[in-house]
């Protein structure tokens, strides 16, 4: 083929990645490659559009890139899948970890994908070892025997998440044996650290009493295994969920036993933390029991999905994220800074849970800026402030990072608050998103209590939140938060004044409802 000066030509290639009957498309007569290209392109666009329309987030144009990035990363998660296996990448990370998979499953469930999650858990459960251990990773060679002790809690957590979004009790019953065996394995691990050596030894040894033994699940400890609180937070999450699963299924004896194990482990975990902080003379939550190391991206697991806000030692927990934000702010002001892993996007959600909306907004803006390239709505595993830096970036897109982002953004619009069993609406929505009077609108977003639809507008001196029906009201109610920093002078629900005791939020006990915050 030759080209004249300034001439362009368009070429269409058909590359079948499946059995091909030498026809371009089904039984249609051959009408030229451009016809088939146009037809197939239209079909692909329709298929992706349908897949990504399980919910709607309507936001001002300035915020639309955030929503686009959520949708793009959902698509990338689907692309990186290999059969039932959810994978964080397709090159360096073409394997399935329960760690990545459990958190990615949550992001999928929160956005309306259930079949893919069920298939993943069903498949992963087949790799469980006879002693109940959950493998950290499964690939074409089968389960990996490397001890990564976060895996056990993550598996139980994934099972419970699927149930919470689907209420499929029959499926849950089918997973109960695997859950029970996993709990037994967790109990055996704990016994390794409940001997007299750890009960009565040195302060450093006593800081290990009753917690999970050292492992390399936290990549920062891959050189020397440590007693990682990352492992412990996931273990506690798994024990909490195991007790809940047993209760749902009417297994009262197991439910009582698992609840007792949960409570005992929680007691030992926080005793360990307090002693570790005293041993290393720090005033923040350490990453592991030995080092007194600072790792807010790890500690956030205790808040989300751990649900331990209110139990994690204070003021050290808030100190941890104050310290992180100081570092974050310093890094943000520099033209070039150190490389980082955008797993940090999960901290956006932690700021929302801590009631620090402005910090969440700042973090969101910062991480959005580091998409590479911006138009592709994706992150590599490692971000270099100078994009031309010729060093390791991992897979791109990295969809465990993407799932962290999805879960954090979702928490800005809604999240389930464990400590009082409530559904919290709008806790991370910045007032700036309501500058346009059309405001924001959420449609059909899955929650534990059904699909949520609401609209939030700022009109004159009022914020108006209109919430549709169809949701089960959780025991702690539906908490609607004001996006305005200043307190509301008056709050009404369906036209009736209410006195909530907090001028920034109101608790609803029935739907539909229209809430007016007047300033």
Query: Can you tell me the mean pLDDT for 457-483?
Result: 95
Host H or E run for residue 453: strand 450-459
| DSSP classification of residue 215 | B
What does the angle CA 427 – CA 430 – CA 434 come to, to the nearest 5 degrees?
115
| Residue 487 backbone phi and psi in degrees, to 5 | -70, 150
Q: Where are the domains of the chain?
A: 326-418, 425-518
**What pTM was computed for the model?**
0.93
245: phi > 0 → left, psi -120 to 50 → alpha, else beta; which? alpha
Cα–chain center distance at 316: 23
Instruction: Look at the chain and count its residues.
Output: 519
5 C-beta neighbours (distance < 10 Å), count: 4
For the chain, the farthest-separated pair of C-alpha atoms sits apart, in whole angstroms, at 85
235-244, 407-416, 500-509: range with lowest mean pLDDT:
500-509
pLDDT tens readout for residues 309-327: 999 999 999 999 999 999 9
With 80 as the cut, is the pLDDT of residue 28 above it? no
409 C-beta neighbours (distance < 10 Å), count: 24
Percent residues over pLDDT 90 in the chain: 80
Q: Within 13 A of 422's CA, how many CA atoms are on the CB side?
A: 18
Listed in sequence order, the residues at least 6 apart from 6 whose beta carbon sits closer than 8 Å to its beta carbon are none
Selected residue with higher pLDDT from 341 and 29? 341
Sheet holding 142-143, edge to edge: 96-97, 137-139, 142-143
Q: In the block, which residue shows the tokens 């702690």? A: 476
Selected residue with higher pLDDT from 9 and 233? 233
* Confidence (pLDDT) at 438: 86
22-26, 113-117, 149-153, 448-452: range with lowest mean pLDDT:
22-26
Nearest alpha carbon to residue 400 among 246, 315, 297, 286:
297
pLDDT tens readout for residues 46-89: 999 999 999 999 999 999 999 999 999 999 999 999 999 999 99
337 C-beta neighbours (distance < 10 Å), count: 14
pLDDT tens readout for residues 395-442: 899 999 999 999 999 999 999 999 999 999 999 999 999 988 789 999
389 C-beta neighbours (distance < 10 Å), count: 13
Asked whether the bond before 512 is cis by omega within 30 degrees of 0, the reply is: yes
Q: Within 13 A of 321's CA, how many CA atoms are on the CB side?
A: 29
* DSSP per-residue letters across 171-192: HHHHTHHHHHHHHHHHHHHHHT
With 60 as the cut, is the pLDDT of residue 27 above it? no
* Confidence (pLDDT) at 26: 53
Instruction: Please tell me whether residue 340 adopts helix, strand or coil conformation.
Output: strand
Percent residues over pLDDT 70 in the chain: 95
In whole numbers, what is the pLDDT of the chain averaged over residues? 93
Nearest alpha carbon to residue 379 among 412, 406, 341:
341
């Amino acid at each position: 083929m030759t080209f004249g000066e300034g001439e362009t030509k368009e070429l269409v290639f058909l590359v079948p990645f499946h059995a091909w009957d030498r026809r371009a498309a089904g039984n249609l007569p051959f009408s030229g490659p451009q016809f088939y290209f146009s037809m197939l392109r239209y079909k692909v666009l329709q298929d992706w559009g349908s897949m990504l329309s399980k919910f709607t987030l309507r936001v001002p144009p300035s915020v639309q890139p955030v929503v686009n990035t959520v949708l793009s990363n959902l698509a990338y998660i689907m692309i990186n899948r290999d059969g039932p296996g959810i994978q964080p990448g397709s090159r360096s990370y073409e394997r399935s970890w329960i760690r990545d998979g459990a958190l990615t499953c949550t992001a999928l469930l929160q956005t309306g994908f259930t079949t893919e999650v069920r298939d993943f858990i069903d498949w992963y459960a087949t790799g469980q070892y006879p002693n109940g251990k959950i493998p950290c990773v499964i690939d074409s060679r089968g389960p990996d025997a490397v001890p990564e002790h976060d895996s056990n809690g993550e598996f139980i957590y994934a099972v419970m998440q699927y149930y919470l979004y689907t209420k499929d009790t029959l499926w849950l019953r089918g997973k109960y044996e695997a859950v029970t065996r996993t709990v037994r394995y967790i109990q055996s691990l704990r016994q390794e650290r409940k001997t007299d050596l750890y009960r009565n030894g040195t302060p450093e040894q006593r800081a290990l009493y009753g917690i999970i033994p050292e492992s390399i699940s936290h990549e920062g400890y891959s050189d020397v295994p440590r007693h990682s609180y990352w492992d412990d937070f996931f273990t506690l999450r798994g024990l909490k969920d195991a007790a809940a699963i047993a209760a749902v299924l009417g297994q009262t004896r197991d439910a009582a036993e698992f609840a007792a194990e949960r409570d005992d482990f929680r007691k030992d975990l926080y005793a360990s933390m307090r002693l570790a902080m005293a041993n290393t003379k720090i005033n923040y939550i350490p990453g592991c029991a030995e080092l007194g190391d600072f790792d807010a991206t790890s500690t956030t697991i205790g808040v989300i999905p751990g649900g331990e806000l209110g139990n994690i030692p204070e003021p050290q927990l808030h100190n941890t994220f104050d310290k992180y934000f100081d570092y974050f702010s310093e890094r943000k002001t520099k033209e070039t800074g150190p490389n980082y892993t955008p797993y940090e996007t999960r901290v956006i959600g932690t700021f929302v849970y801590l009631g620090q909306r402005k910090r969440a907004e700042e973090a969101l803006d910062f991480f959005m800026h580091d998409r590479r390239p911006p138009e592709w709505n994706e992150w590599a595993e490692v971000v270099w402030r100078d994009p031309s830096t010729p060093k390791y970036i991992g897979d791109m897109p990295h969809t465990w990072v993407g799932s962290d982002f999805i879960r954090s953004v979702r928490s800005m619009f809604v999240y389930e608050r464990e400590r009082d069993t409530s559904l919290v609406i709008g806790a991370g929505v910045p007032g700036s998103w309501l500058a346009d009077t059309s405001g924001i609108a959420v449609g059909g977003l899955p929650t534990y209590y059904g699909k949520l639809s609401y609209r939030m507008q700022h009109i004159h001196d009022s914020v108006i939140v209109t919430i549709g029906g169809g949701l089960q009201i959780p025991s702690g109610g539906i908490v609607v938060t004001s996006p305005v920093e200043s307190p509301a002078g008056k709050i009404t629900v369906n036209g009736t004044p209410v006195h909530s005791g907090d001028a920034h939020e109101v608790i609803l006990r029935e739907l539909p409802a229209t809430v007016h915050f007047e300033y």
